[in-house]
Amino acid sequence: MKALLLLLLFAQLCSASLVPEREKDPEYWRRQAQETLRNALRLQRLNQNVAKNLILFLGDGMGVSTVTAARILKGQLQHGQGEESLLEMEKFPYVALAKTYNTNAQVPDSAGTATAYLCGVKANEGTLGVSAGVTRDRCNTTKGQEVTSILRWAKDAGKAVGIVTTTRVTHATPSAAYAHSANRDWYSDGEMPPDALEGGCKDIARQLVENIPDIEVILGGGRKYMFPKNASDVEYPHEEKHRGTRLDRRDLVQAWHNAKPPGKVAKYVWHRRELLALNLSRVDFLLGLFEPGDMVYELERNNETDPSLSEMVAVAIRMLQKNPRGFFLLVEGGRIDHGHHEGKAKQALHEAVELDRAIGLATRLTSAQDTLSVVTADHSHVFTFGGYTPRGNPIFGLAPMQSDVDRKPFTSILYGNGPGYKIVAGERENVSAVDFAHADYQAQSAVPLRQETHGGEDVAVFARGPMAHLLHGVHEQNYIPHAMAYAACIGSNRGHCSAGARPAAPLLLPFLALLVLLC
């Protein structure tokens, strides 16, 4: 056991030593992003309005192969062949690629990548809202290394801000918007080691309530991290695994209420019916936690108790639109990633289709004249589909051929590694003997692993609205929030805002003046 611990410590130290010294400095990434920005500005510009609103849609694990397969699934759900279908995100006029590596990892994790596309600074795997000077699990390396997110920049500019996710609200993607942590898994103090607690590091749920207490909308899962250890869950009172986890015995939902200014109305809901019944004109702050942990897969969602991602997005946009200065909204389809990790492609792809449905809804509720919408992923997966399938082949179906080695059929969808590796009587499992169209079917993989892994290839970035053309070509992932902030005149780079880009409404003023003169 001691040898194993020493080996892990040595690996951790080696991992930290892989980071070039200059990449530990946030300014390195900021300068790099600003240089990329200057190059982008030399391109022909079209919609140069100031973005009043910003929406960042994040498909966790939604690599290009997932996007393509989701497109086919969407078309087939609409009774088409599938290949000719278009996802809502694919209707966006600008497309780029983002390089996803973490500062210490060729194939990244969701925490280091979230720090890149939300905070504009690349970081080490497993760390949130901090620079690459922080080593995972080392609480004492955090102080002074905190980096802020585009959600904070928007809030500082007077905009309303919101977070919507299908995971727990303390998961890697949403937490990088508000937290600073040496470990993405420190959801509550119940998941933190003694040395981190003694070192003064805060758990992520506490940071959600304390760091930016005036986030207007927070919707997702993760109830149990907000309540005292062993407190019964309101929805599953008899299930031990859903009980509260907090060692400090605090009720963070009550703390969230208490942090709101006098006279402001703050509503906490845990049921779909409560959410959809709200009179949003009379609500200033909204916290919705619909499951103890992550929300349920869309294919298995209880339509009575749990809202869909689309429903949560509709509520969030209507809440945030009340602010005349505009808003920033982070929307995560987080369980695409979980489906892939479990080797359950059907779950993953239906999650991707639901995210795309939410994108279409948001597009209809906003205008490209004043709203910059960006869709991307944090990383890919070792998910693929092939086998010379004919046009219109069911996306979860068999390839039209057998292996010329073991003479057995195979599904079009396969994984490079994962839990779908099965040997039956010394040979690869014959998939014709199983229900490969079932939602929980685990597609075959080349290498046996309990959990399938991320992929290391670039991910797509789709953009629509003011300054969307700044997302072009191949970028470092940390460039994304810099470009979005530039479009909205928030953050540190605002020198162009007074004389350059202008809000959509003032563009009409010269024409109105001419009309007055003619009259």
Amino acid making up residue 157: A
> Is 332 known to sit in a ligand binding site?
yes
Token look-up 């998939």 returns 431
d(CA 407, CA 29): 52
Backbone angle region of 123, left / alpha / beta, with phi > 0 → left and psi within -120 to 50 → alpha: beta
> Is 109 known to sit in a ligand binding site?
no
> Is 381 known to sit in a ligand binding site?
no
110 is catalytic: yes
DSSP 268-335: EE-SHHHHHH--GGG-SEEEEE-SSSSPPPGGG--TTTS--HHHHHHHHHHHHTTSTT-EEEEEEETH
Query: Alpha carbon 508 to chain centroid distance?
Result: 36
Spell out the SS3 assignment of 123-182: CCCCCECECCCCCCCCHHHCCCCECCCHHHHHHHCCCEEEEEEEEECCCHHHHCCCCCEC
* Residues linked to residue 96 through DSSP beta bridges, in sequence order: 461, 473
> Is 248 known to sit in a ligand binding site?
no
Give the three-class secondary structure for 376.
strand
> Is 203 known to sit in a ligand binding site?
no
d(CA 357, CA 368): 17
Residues 293, 221: contact at Cβ < 8 Å? yes
> Is 342 known to sit in a ligand binding site?
no
Question: Which residue among the candidates 17, 65, 110, 131 is catalytic per the annotation?
Answer: 110
What is the DSSP secondary structure assignment for residue 469, as one 8-state letter? G
> Is 171 known to sit in a ligand binding site?
yes
> Is 341 known to sit in a ligand binding site?
yes
> Is 378 known to sit in a ligand binding site?
yes
d(CA 334, CA 67): 14
Please state the residue numbers annotated as binding site for Zn(2+): 60, 337, 341, 378-379, 454
Active site residues: 110
Please state the residue numbers annotated as binding site: 60, 171, 173, 332, 337, 341, 378-379, 454
Please state the residue numbers annotated as binding site for Mg(2+): 60, 171, 173, 332
